[in-house]
């Protein structure tokens, strides 16, 4: 049995120790919360891509048709980036019919000397969709050929983001439209971009699978 004096001493000791215990618990809780907060922030950071990560690949050529572009040499992506657009196209074997048409129309110097343009470039297979007799007729008519080819050229550089939903005046003076998202785009709802965002010294090139025809 404790004496009154003993009970008073115990009470005083407990009273003295209680604030210390509470402080220790508070510090521990604060550290735990801070640790939890940092973990949560780290987790959030790992789930969200940084702006630099999101931009990776945005400036690269894209699309299934890019696989047929030479891996090196003047006709490769790196090689084409060094030359003006008509010269660059002449080094790509998939664009030989287009290059022939450009030469017949006398547009080589026009395209090579232009600044900051976009060319929607039909592949050889795109031209092959046109009946041979009709294609030969167009190739022999310089005025009509020029009209068709300049309809494939826009007087500004169009990036993939500009193709999502756009309407652009061409060098032929009428408009073409673009639509799509990601790596899938159409021009005039009729031609698919099979290899987009190809860079040349003075132009952005989007290679397409059909020849565009101006309405008028």
CATH number of the domain to which 105 belongs:
2.30.180.10
Task: Tell me the CA distances in angstroms from 90 to 31, 33, 53, 139, 147, one per residue in order.
Answer: 67, 65, 35, 17, 20
Residues 19 and 125 occupy one common structural domain: no
User: Looking at the domain assignment, is residue 157 inside a domain?
Assistant: yes
Residues 75 and 34 occupy one common structural domain: no
- In this predicted structure, what is the pLDDT of residue 215? 83
Residues 104 and 191 occupy one common structural domain: yes
What average pLDDT does range 3-24 have in this prediction?
44
Question: With a threshold of 0.95, does the pTM exceed it?
Answer: no
Give the chain's domain count. Answer: 2
Residues 36 and 71 occupy one common structural domain: no
User: Looking at the domain assignment, is residue 88 inside a domain?
Assistant: yes
- Identify the three-state secondary structure at position 181: strand
Mind listing the pLDDT tens digit for each residue in 28-62?
454 444 445 444 444 444 444 433 333 334 589 99
Mind listing the pLDDT tens digit for each residue in 110-145?
999 999 999 999 999 999 999 999 999 999 999 999
User: Looking at the domain assignment, is residue 54 inside a domain?
Assistant: no
User: Looking at the domain assignment, is residue 186 inside a domain?
Assistant: yes
Strands 117-122 and 203-208: parallel
**Residue 137 φ/ψ, nearest 5 degrees:** -65, -45
Mind listing the pLDDT tens digit for each residue in 91-103?
999 999 999 999 9
Give the domain range for residue 82.
64-208
User: Looking at the domain assignment, is residue 216 inside a domain?
Assistant: no
User: Looking at the domain assignment, is residue 52 inside a domain?
Assistant: no
Count other Cβ atoms within 10 Å, centred on residue 31: 10
Residues 112 and 34 occupy one common structural domain: no
Instruction: Report residue 173 as tokens.
Output: 């003076």
């Amino acid at each position: 049995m404790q004496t009154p004096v003993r009970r008073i001493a115990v009470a005083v000791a407990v009273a003295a120790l209680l604030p210390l215990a509470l402080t220790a618990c508070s510090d521990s809780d604060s550290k735990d919360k801070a640790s939890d907060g940092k973990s949560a922030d780290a987790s959030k950071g790992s789930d969200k891509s940084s702006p630099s990560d999101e931009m990776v690949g945005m400036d690269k050529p894209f699309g299934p048709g890019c696989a047929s572009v030479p891996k090196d040499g003047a006709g490769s992506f790196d090689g084409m980036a060094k030359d003006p657009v008509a010269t660059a196209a002449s080094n790509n074997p998939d664009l030989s019919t287009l290059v022939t048409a450009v030469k017949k129309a006398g547009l080589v110097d026009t395209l090579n000397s232009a600044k900051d343009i976009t060319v929607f470039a039909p592949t050889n297979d795109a031209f092959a969709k046109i009946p041979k007799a009709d294609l030969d007729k167009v190739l022999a008519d310089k005025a009509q050929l020029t009209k068709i080819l300049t309809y494939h050229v826009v007087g500004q550089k169009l990036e993939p983001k500009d193709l999502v939903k756009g309407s652009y005046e061409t060098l032929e003076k009428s408009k073409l439209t673009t639509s799509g998202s990601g790596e899938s785009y159409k021009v005039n709802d009729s031609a698919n971009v099979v290899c987009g965002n190809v860079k040349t010294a003075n132009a952005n090139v989007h290679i397409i699978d059909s020849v565009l025809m101006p309405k008028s």
